[in-house]
Chains A and B, each alone.
Chain A
Amino acid sequence: MSKIIKIKKGLNIPLAGEAERILNTAPRSAFYAVCPPDFHGLTPKMLVREGDKVKAGSPLFFDKYNEKILFTSPVSGTFSELVRGEKRRILKVVIQADDTDEWIDFGAVSPESITRDQIVEKLLQSGLWPALRQRPYAVVANPEQTPKAIFVSAFDSAPVAADADFIVNGQEAEFQTGLDALRKLTPGKVHLGVHAQATKSQVFLNARGVQINTFSGPHPAGNVGIQIHHVDPVNKGEVVWHVGVQHVIAIGRLFMKGIYDASAIVALAGPEVLNPRYYRVIAGAQIKEITAGNLRVEEDLRQRIISGDALSGTKVAANDFLRFYHNLITVIPEGDKPEILGWIMPNLDKFSVSRSFPAFLMPWKKFRLNTNIRSGERPFVVTGLYEKVLPMDIMPMPLLKSIMINDIDMMEKLGIYEVAPEDFALCEYVCPSKIEIQQHIREGLDNLQKEFA
């Protein structure tokens, strides 16, 4: 291993309830769903009607603005319900699952033996294409483009994140086949980001045909955006793609077995989980099948279930579904109870980057952090704080201000092409003015994309 890229800025939030390395199999859900809002900017056009029978891998809908991108069913069953939200926006496409799965056969083939176009075609047909996401704009990759490089982060540094080492265990061949397929999609390199201390799995360390980049340091070192920035940053006019570990495995299975096998391993973690551990599920599974009987029960206690991590995940209800890009379900208490003079108390149970709380005296302590926002939104006052948790050569406050006034030219100059909302999740976490930073970044990206559309 060559040089280590040391990430110095950042923050590991000591959230309690990290998952133990035990693998359970969650019971098969009665319902599975694909949720269009997971894919930012997508306008779905339905291909099936309610009551239609589908197989695992059958297309459910496509992207109105890019008809090639299909979204397919993770299980076989019956398309039972279309859940709509405001302005009739499609929120969930729900499938009532059969007892066993039948798969559509896309044909097993070695990615080495077919062309790039054939690989793209296979990914699009099987519904695995959306696993590829791109910078700039942090959206599903455009199949018309060719990226200068593809990144895979082999560790997740978010609070109580799932351990990629554990997920990949025993799936070496699938992972490697997935990487082989990705390698054909770019004339450049496929980069695999590993952590200097945390990554132990030989599957990652011995991966072939990729450039292994070693990182050290706290969250957000595991964010693929940070890794791209330090290895091969995105300039204006360039495109980089990235894929999650679990999806690399799914792509590998597509080429090895010829089917869209959506099974995945997710961690159920967080302070409200009684026995935090890993579950074998199928993508789009109902949350309650995974959390059943494993959450703390107390009178007058409400809980927040998050598909994804506590910093940038999606709020879901128990009867909601695991989201497409997530391999973690975090459960934390809701902070909906007022605290008398809470802003001035010593607050032993609170965590803060600021040393005005005693948390810094207890570096070993794990906290049961809740969703209380603690204050109304204020204008920018404190300076120099975002910079401490954003390990990028990007000036967060000037960038945010340029987004707020929609100054496209300035946003470009300040490096908006490189960023995704999740990279600013820690900035949002530490912000004492409680500004919704991730939302602002997303607005900036949207405005930029509109400008060039």
Chain B
Amino acid sequence: MKALINLVEKVKPHFEKGGRFEKLHRTFEAFETFLFVKGDVTHSGAHIRDAMDMKRTMVHVIIALMPPLLFGIWNVGFQHYKAIGLEVEFIDQVLFGLIKVLPIVVVSYVTGLAIEFIFASARDHEVNEGFLVSGMLIPLVIPVTTPLWMVAVATAFAVVIGKEVFGGTGMNILNPALLARAFLFFAYPSYLSGEVWIETTLQEGQQLVDGFSGATALAVMAAGEGTMPSDFDMFFGFIPGSIGETSAFAILLGAIVLVATGVGSLRIMASVFFGGLAMGLILNLFAVNEFMAMPAYKHLIMGGFAFGAVYMATDPVSASQTGVGKYIYGVLIGVITVLIRVVNPAYPEGMMLAILFMNVFAPLIDHYVVEANVKRRMKRMERVHLQTQA
């Protein structure tokens, strides 16, 4: 261990001012702080600091993303073999999933981190950890059939236009991972709707099973034809969909990690679920078609609702930042998602647009929450002035 530290110390001068690789200073620093917590001490203010830092915060989100990722990998294989009617071992399903999913994850990380490092060097600030999470979220919200170059383009768009133009991590208005998905959705619509959710590239001698349909539950409901999967399948995720979004159960496990460690906001998660459920119930009351009459709870286990509520809406940077604001923000996401799903048949999945929409409105919500605090203080002052005059 000591040897490693010594090694790093030995090569360090090359990356410092005047060194051969001076330009890579920030890159070196990122790897150095990744390897070990530096011996930097406080110099002013609080002499002791909480052990929590950005790296540990982000790594807990990654841990929370493991259940949907692992389930997603298996489900990619499961859906594929189901579509071609082959009975294979569990391990084959996982292997197939790995071969398909891993490259997407790698492309997302390499593209995004490369851009982050370049911007950190250009702006001369430390490399921020935010993309560690975004880089994992992006693969989980797109279909497994998305071409790799498209993943790279979408990631680059999200990081540069979504984040860096605003000043980097912490300054962005929109959730970068969702922006990547929205970019794909509008730039290459044919790759993000229809029969894209299951990898059905056939090899010689293979063919799709009779009556195969790769449609998601949302598409079935929106079109009003086809068969809906059972609640059981939808909850546990044995359905087609984006890589990480299908299993509400796996997402729930992640949610427990986020809430237990205090990294994710329970306030937002619960509000989103509440909003979705409430809007579903309201639509039930005025039901004029099958989708409106669908039991409200189904919204929560269909499509990307759970994934969006747990991992996307809770992004602290793009969400509302005030306590009360978080409730309003969360409820509105739930409400708008269900509205888009049911009322606007052009977009079967409303979660992405609802969150992006509310990302834009979060500062406005916060503004009014802050104003309320200001008004309270003003009133208190007026009261005192009245008393002194009386």
Q: Tell me which residues across on chain B come within 8 A of A311, comparing CB atoms.
A: 46-48
What's the nearest-Cβ distance from chain B to residue A85, in Å? 14
Q: Does B36 contact A (CB under 8 A)?
A: yes
Tell me the bound Cα distance from A422 to B374 in angstroms: 22
CB of B45 within 8 A of CB of A343, answer: no
Q: Does B25 contact A (CB under 8 A)?
A: no
Known: A352-B52, A357-B52, A372-B37. A425 touches B321 (CB 8 A): no
Q: Tell me which residues across on chain B come within 8 A of A380, comparing CB atoms.
A: 170, 317
What's the nearest-Cβ distance from chain A to residue B369, in Å? 8
What's the nearest-Cβ distance from chain B to residue A357, in Å? 6
Q: Does B126 contact A (CB under 8 A)?
A: yes
CB of B52 within 8 A of CB of A381, answer: no
CB of B384 within 8 A of CB of A434, answer: no
CB of B263 within 8 A of CB of A384, answer: no
List B residues 251-280 near A (Cβ within 8 Å): 260-263, 265, 267
Q: CB < 8 Å: which of B39, B54, B377 contacts A415?
A: B377
Q: Which of B56-64, B203-211, B297-305 contacts A (4 or more CB under 8 A)?
A: B56-64
Of the candidates B51, B168, B171, the one having the most CB atoms from chain A within 10 angstroms of its own CB is B51
Q: CB < 8 Å: which of B35, B42, B128, B370 contacts A379?
A: B128
How many chain B residues sit at the interface, stated as a range, is 35 or more
Known: A387-B323, A397-B321, A415-B377. A339 touches B37 (CB 8 A): yes
CB of B36 within 8 A of CB of A425, answer: no
CB of A381 within 8 A of CB of B57, answer: yes
Q: Tell me which residues across on chain A come within 8 A of B171, comparing CB atoms.
A: 379
List B residues 1-43 near A (Cβ within 8 Å): 1, 4-5, 33, 35-43
Q: Does A347 contact B (CB under 8 A)?
A: yes
Q: Does B193 contact A (CB under 8 A)?
A: no
Q: Does B223 contact A (CB under 8 A)?
A: no
Known: A336-B39, A342-B36, A380-B170. A438 touches B51 (CB 8 A): no
Q: Tell me which residues across on chain B come within 8 A of A343, comparing CB atoms.
A: 33, 37, 53, 55-56, 59
CB of B128 within 8 A of CB of A352, answer: no
Q: Does A87 contact B (CB under 8 A)?
A: no
Q: CB < 8 Å: which of A233, A338, A430 contacts B37?
A: A338
Q: Does A405 contact B (CB under 8 A)?
A: no
Q: CB < 8 Å: which of A374, A376, A436 contacts B45?
A: A436
Tell me the bound Cα distance from A343 to B36 in angstroms: 7
CB of B263 within 8 A of CB of A395, answer: no
Q: Tell me which residues across on chain A come within 8 A of B128, comparing CB atoms.
A: 378-379
Q: Tell me which residues across on chain B come within 8 A of A315, comparing CB atoms.
A: 43-44, 47
Q: Does B89 contact A (CB under 8 A)?
A: no
Q: Does A13 contact B (CB under 8 A)?
A: yes
CB of B53 within 8 A of CB of A381, answer: no
Q: Does B322 contact A (CB under 8 A)?
A: yes
What's the nearest-Cβ distance from chain B to residue A329, in Å? 12
CB of A356 within 8 A of CB of B60, answer: yes
CB of B374 within 8 A of CB of A374, answer: no
CB of B48 within 8 A of CB of A332, answer: yes
- A198-236 interface mask toward B, CB cutoff 8 Å, 1 = contact, 0 = none? 000000000000000000000000000000000001011
Q: Does B50 contact A (CB under 8 A)?
A: yes
Q: Does B229 contact A (CB under 8 A)?
A: no
- Return the chain A residue nearest B320 by Cβ: A383
CB of B51 within 8 A of CB of A379, answer: no
Q: Does B241 contact A (CB under 8 A)?
A: no
Of the candidates B36, B45, B54, B381, the one having the most CB atoms from chain A within 10 angstroms of its own CB is B45
Of the candidates A159, A375, A421, the one having the most CB atoms from chain B within 10 angstroms of its own CB is A375
- A310-335 interface mask toward B, CB cutoff 8 Å, 1 = contact, 0 = none? 11110100000000000000101011
Tell me the bound Cα distance from A439 to B40 in angstroms: 18
Q: Tell me which residues across on chain B come within 8 A of A376, comparing CB atoms.
A: 33, 40, 126
- A164-187 interface mask toward B, CB cutoff 8 Å, 1 = contact, 0 = none? 000000000000000000000000
CB of B47 within 8 A of CB of A313, answer: yes
Q: Tell me which residues across on chain A come within 8 A of B380, comparing CB atoms.
A: 233, 235
Q: CB < 8 Å: which of B53, B168, B381 contacts A375?
A: B53
Known: A378-B169, A379-B168. A429 touches B39 (CB 8 A): no
List B residues 104-135 near A (Cβ within 8 Å): 126, 128-130
Q: Does B319 contact A (CB under 8 A)?
A: yes
Of the candidates B44, B128, B129, B378, the one having the most CB atoms from chain A within 10 angstroms of its own CB is B44
Tell me the bound Cα distance from A433 to B128 in angstroms: 10
Q: Does A350 contact B (CB under 8 A)?
A: yes
Q: Does B289 contact A (CB under 8 A)?
A: no
CB of B48 within 8 A of CB of A15, answer: yes
- Return the chain B residue nearest A347 by Cβ: B51
Known: A340-B35, A373-B42, A374-B37. A356 touches B49 (CB 8 A): no
Known: A338-B36, A344-B59, A395-B370. A354 touches B47 (CB 8 A): no
- A1-30 interface mask toward B, CB cutoff 8 Å, 1 = contact, 0 = none? 000000000000101000000000000000
List A residues 371-425 near B (Cβ within 8 Å): 371-384, 387, 393-395, 397-398, 413-415, 421, 425
What's the nearest-Cβ distance from chain A to residue B200, in Å? 39
- Return the chain A residue nearest B171 by Cβ: A379
CB of A432 within 8 A of CB of B39, answer: no
Q: Tell me which residues across on chain A come within 8 A of B40, comparing CB atoms.
A: 336, 372-373, 376
Q: Tell me which residues across on chain A come within 8 A of B317, comparing CB atoms.
A: 380-381
Tell me the bound Cα distance from A335 to B50 in angstroms: 13
Q: Does A289 contact B (CB under 8 A)?
A: no
Q: Does A82 contact B (CB under 8 A)?
A: no
CB of A384 within 8 A of CB of B326, answer: yes
Q: Does A238 contact B (CB under 8 A)?
A: yes
- For this complex, 24 residue pairs linking A to B, each with C-beta atoms less than 8 Å apart, are A312-B45, A315-B43, A315-B44, A338-B36, A338-B38, A339-B36, A340-B4, A340-B36, A343-B37, A343-B53, A343-B55, A347-B51, A356-B60, A370-B41, A371-B41, A372-B39, A375-B33, A379-B167, A379-B170, A382-B57, A383-B316, A384-B316, A414-B374, A436-B45
10 further A-B pairs in the complex, CB-CB below 8 A; given A335-B39, A350-B51, A384-B267: A311-B47, A352-B51, A354-B56, A354-B262, A356-B56, A379-B171, A384-B316, A414-B373, A428-B49, A429-B48
